[in-house]
Chain A
Amino acid sequence: EAQVTQNPRYLITVTGKKLTVTCSQNMNHEYMSWYRQDPGLGLRQIYYSMNVEVTDKGDVPEGYKVSRKEKRNFPLILESPSPNQTSLYFCASRTASPTGELFFGEGSRLTVL
């Protein structure tokens, strides 16, 4: 089954404790992206990657890092999480075609205390 898998789905952590949210897709997609969703603000793009070793900032990249060492994986790294990073995070992927549909993961709900 074609899917985008995120882990963990739920996480409560404390300020400053580094964490990584993993994202993996099994569709051989070139493009991958991270979004966060907050009440009243909709979905906002954090980072995206057009292909392996190619990443770029989205709308709200501050406080986040990403890497794309393999085509299927696109982890989101929070080096020093803060409470304002409490949010619902989504990973998405698509083919190289700019008109292609985005496939989203099921989301990772992160709480930073």
Chain B
Amino acid sequence: DAKTTQPPSMDCAEGRAANLPCNHSTISGNEYVYWYRQIHSQGPQYIIHGLKNNETNEMASLIITEDRKSSTLILPHATLRDTAVYYCIVRSYYNAGNMLTFGGGTRLMVKP
């Protein structure tokens, strides 16, 4: 699976949009982009995933560039409860073992 690069930390004001970037320049055609987050030491929580089209759900939006080498997770109206470590993961559809490789992630701090 392709590796990802994320900034180690970001701040965001409460109520504003949080835009978390992820670089995955070596991504291949059958690899999906996933986002999970981990609040403190709780179990990671799934946020969203996509292949090449932009995706939106009740939690967030995922914007994938046309060349698929990078993506952005958007939390439209960040709240204090969104403070967490956000992980961008790339994995192949054919990776049946589902060995998600969690890198360092981005520590998002939402401030009042």
Contact = CB atoms under 8 A, between A and B. Distances in A.
A58 B95 CA distance: 12
Interface residues of A, number: 26
Given A31-B98, A102-B98, A107 B41 contact: yes
Interface residues of B, number: 23
Interface string B87-112: 00000011111111111110000000
A50 interface: yes
Contacts of A4: 43
Given A99-B32, A101-B46, A102-B46, A48 B41 contact: no
Interface in B4-59: 32, 34, 36, 41-46, 49
Given A42-B102, A98-B96, 16 more contacts: A37-B41, A42-B105, A43-B100, A45-B99, A48-B97, A48-B98, A48-B99, A50-B96, A58-B97, A59-B99, A92-B43, A98-B93, A104-B45, A106-B42, A106-B43, A107-B43
Interface of B: 32, 34, 36, 41-46, 49, 93-105
